[in-house]
Structure 1
Amino acid sequence: MEEKVSYDFSHSACRKDTNAEKYTLREELFGTVDVEPAWVADMDIDTPDFVLNAVRKRLDHPIIGYEEVPDSAFEAQCSWLEKRHGISYKRADMIYSHSVVASIRVAIEAFTKKGEGVIVQTPIYPPFFHSVLELERKFVKNPLKKREDGKYAFDIQDLKSKIDSDTKLLLLCSPHNPVGRVWTREELLSILEVCIENNIVVLADEVHSDLVYGENKHIPFASLSKAASDITLSTYGVGKTFNMAGFAMSSVAIHNQELKEKFLKAYNRIHFAQGSVLSHVAFEAAYKEGEYWLEDLKKHLYSNYLQLEELCHEYNEFLKLTPIEATYLAWIDCHGLELKDKKIREFFINEAKLGLNAGISFGREGSGYMRLNFAVSSAKMLLIIERLKTALENRRKSLGNN
């Protein structure tokens, strides 16, 4: 490990003249370019210099051809997972994938047939249920419950009532996007018990596992027990942690050999190959050199969250912020605006000039909510807060609540 270095997230590079999805699609999605985008889950924070330096060094070699993922890249990831999350994998357990969504689709193909059930816990990242429906599987919806403290929990009784002999797979989001939960060991064990009893395989999307705040601790589902390990495929990656989504490299980790063989049978039909040469070196550098950067990043992100929390508290007649334990995605309860979903979205676009994800896109349980990505520089967070504050203050005045 290098000597401790401090990182500054006060400003970030301008992305408006790049092909950045969150900027390029503003006109198409929001009907105007005059919005500050805070939707798609990458960061408006510079990708770490040690990652970019590793890529520059690789470019000193003049041939960029087909290349296998080097063992050292996955070994670096395995070391990271063991040190930070207490789960042990071998190189042979790790499978390359260009994205978590692709891995989810392979798992659906591998462990279910058309018409068989896949459990999805809404509100949820939309590709979870889109993948189920587009692959013609039965969408088994097990909505999360909202507790009195504003946090969400599993509804185990509802889960048990939805399962039948054709239910084969559960898609677990841990930590959860968009509600920001870090599931406790007891909560995960309650899911495990149901899945073992009903012979259900678990795909655990753990791509946000490095972005956990405070005393909360991410517990890999496969680490719960040998029985858990035998039914679990886990997805990990550098995309969210180090703002490297554009490198298109993640992994699927599988301990159980029989499970791995079934997954690979579907995986090999698609021909994933081994990804980009530059992605390999970026991936390895992130896991080898990223510890101090990540710790500073999390402090910065949580500071951004606290600013949003303070604003929502100031205007709590309109907005309530779901308490966050992980991710950089704020789940905002907008029922206080007393508007329908379309009008809530228009309020953020036209009044706040912000481009957010509409909660309804995460399932019916997201009605009345918006998702805001606060993984931005300090300067950009200030702009987001100022725009939202102005819109809320104007609304308060228009309603005579000042």
Structure 2
Amino acid sequence: MEKALKKYSFETASEREGTNAEKYVLRKQLFGTDDVLPVWVADMDIDTPSCVLDAVKKRLQHPIIGYEEVPASAYQAQIDWVKHEHGMEFYLDDMLYSHSVVASMHTAIEAFTKEGDGVIVQTPVYPPFFHSVLQLNRKLIKNSLHVDKYGEYSFDIEDFKAKIDENTKLLLLCSPHNPVGRVWKKKELKEILEVCIEHNIVVFADEIHSDLVYKPFKHTVFASLDERAKDITVTALGVGKTFNMAGFAMSTVAIANEELRKQFKKAYEKVHFAQGCVLSHVAFETAYREAKEWLEALKIHLYYNYLMLNEIAKKYSKYIKVTPIEATYLAWLDCRGMGIKDKELRAFFINEAKLGLNAGISFGREGSGYMRLNFAVSSAKMREIVQRLERALQRREIG
């Protein structure tokens, strides 16, 4: 690992301003000013692995960019990766292309529920989880996560059981969890599984952050729990978060159960997902085949960034606390100690810290008093983020 750290440097990264990067071009619209460092949308201000870029450049030597099928070798690269990294074996027949996890989620809701049916989400959670349910006229069932005095989150199983009725058909599971950063233990997932089996509930498992897990924690693929889990699970996977490749717009859906897959495909084929872009196919396969060492070095770098942020939070603990993180590059900041309303809290980060974060309230009412900060940046930019936050907290303390 020392060799990997020397080989890959994350001290600086390429500048994204002027490149049509979403997090930069939307600053004025979202924050009312361009004078903020954007640390909201979940992609990295870190260069995509050079092996991926080199493979795309090589493909561009052929002058025709036309329609292509996703090659079996690309799916197989992901299958091999998931088996090696997480101990779950999918097969080629299980795999479907998707341009995004959110699109896959919409499709799952269409496939396994009808209007008025209940869909469970575990809040606070990534906003498209509940937006998707409401946009499709399903009944939103909120099973709020439990948070203890140390800021650690867990499932509320009793509430989960109590919320279910005969019209509850689907659970949208976020694993690892965004925004609270939990890696669910096998025991916790088994409790969820037993309830879903008892009530005939299909599980859509968003596992897009499964490769961004910090030691000693280990991700468990929900479908790997046992044969019953495999039979009720739709698993969403992808390279977008892991290798900073969201702009390639390629993810996958893995469905081991044939009947479940047929049901999903009825909704899937109405949308015409097609097969994506030839350059995405090349990038996707290359990342899984060649970028393992880069990822290991990246995770060490990301955790250093997290620790840097946590040090400032400890220094000003009466105002702000960082929720203990086990996965993702998204810090869930408990700012309730500041004693201000959500609107004022957002204004503090924009106007005082000059930072553009996600407001916690956007993840559900359970996020009131929280903010989400993306620390997937270079070391140099992380130091600037921390300095801006510290100066703002210092002024608040003095003033």
**TM-score normalised by length of structure 2:** 0.99
2:44 match: 43
Counterpart residue type for residue 258 of structure 2: Q
1:73 match: 74
2:297 match: 296
Partner SS for 1:150: coil
Q: Is the 8 A contact 2:179 2:330 kept in 1?
A: yes
> 2:136, 2:73 → 1: CA distance?
35
Query: How far 1:148 sits from its partner (Å)?
Result: 2.9
Q: Is the 8 A contact 1:152 1:181 kept in 2?
A: yes
| Superposed counterparts of 1:19-98, under 5 Å | 19-98=20-99
1:16 and 2:17 correspond: yes
| Superposed counterparts of 1:111-130, under 5 Å | 111-130=112-131
> 1:280, 1:333 → 2: CA distance?
40
> 2:351, 2:110 → 1: CA distance?
42
Partner SS for 1:13: coil
1:223 match: 224
> 1:126, 1:226 → 2: CA distance?
31
Q: Is the 8 A contact 2:236 2:253 kept in 1?
A: yes
**Which segments of 5 or more consecutive residues in structure 2 lack a partner in the other structure?**
none
1:346 match: 347
> 1:263, 1:221 → 2: CA distance?
18
2:287 match: 286
The CA deviation string for residues 248-298 of structure 1, in whole angstroms up to 9 with x for no partner, is: 000000100000000001000000000000000000000000110000000
> 1:183, 1:147 → 2: CA distance?
16
1:311 match: 312
| Superposed counterparts of 1:218-257, under 5 Å | 218-257=219-258
Partner SS for 1:235: strand
Query: How far 1:6 sits from its partner (Å)?
Result: 2.0
Counterpart residue type for residue 138 of structure 1: K
| Superposed counterparts of 1:255-294, under 5 Å | 255-294=256-295
Moved over 3 A (4+): 2-5
> 2:372, 2:67 → 1: CA distance?
39
Query: How far 1:214 sits from its partner (Å)?
Result: 1.4
Q: Is the 8 A contact 1:4 1:292 kept in 2?
A: no
Task: Say how many residue pairs are matched.
Answer: 397
Counterpart residue type for residue 246 of structure 2: A
Query: How far 1:3 sits from its partner (Å)?
Result: 9.5
Query: How far 1:149 sits from its partner (Å)?
Result: 2.6
Counterpart residue type for residue 294 of structure 2: W
Cα 1:259–1:58 shift into 2, 3 Å: same
Partner SS for 1:308: helix
Counterpart residue type for residue 385 of structure 1: V
Partner SS for 2:96: strand
1:380 match: 381
Cα 1:250–1:63 shift into 2, 3 Å: same
Q: Is the 8 A contact 2:51 2:290 kept in 1?
A: yes
1:151 match: 152
2:356 match: 355
Counterpart residue type for residue 99 of structure 1: S
Query: How far 1:182 sits from its partner (Å)?
Result: 0.2
1:365 match: 366
> 2:19, 2:63 → 1: CA distance?
25
1:134 match: 135
Counterpart residue type for residue 397 of structure 2: R
Cα 1:303–1:4 shift into 2, 3 Å: closer
> 1:46, 1:215 → 2: CA distance?
26
Counterpart residue type for residue 264 of structure 1: K
The CA deviation string for residues 12-71 of structure 1, in whole angstroms up to 9 with x for no partner, is: 111110110000000000000000000000000001100000000000001000000000
Counterpart residue type for residue 221 of structure 1: F
Q: Is the 8 A contact 1:6 1:292 kept in 2?
A: no
1:336 and 2:337 correspond: yes
| Superposed counterparts of 1:207-218, under 5 Å | 207-218=208-219
Cα 1:306–1:3 shift into 2, 3 Å: closer
**Which segments of 5 or more consecutive residues in structure 1 lack a partner in the other structure?**
none
Partner SS for 2:7: coil
> 1:27, 1:213 → 2: CA distance?
34
Counterpart residue type for residue 104 of structure 1: M
Query: How far 1:372 sits from its partner (Å)?
Result: 0.1
The CA deviation string for residues 120-165 of structure 1, in whole angstroms up to 9 with x for no partner, is: 0000000000000000000011000002331100001001110000
The CA deviation string for residues 345-395 of structure 1, in whole angstroms up to 9 with x for no partner, is: 000000000000000000000000000000000010011000000000000
Bigger drift between 375-384 and 144-153 goes to 144-153
Q: CA RMSD in A?
A: 1.1
Counterpart residue type for residue 366 of structure 1: G
Partner SS for 2:116: coil
1:201 match: 202
> 2:145, 2:335 → 1: CA distance?
18
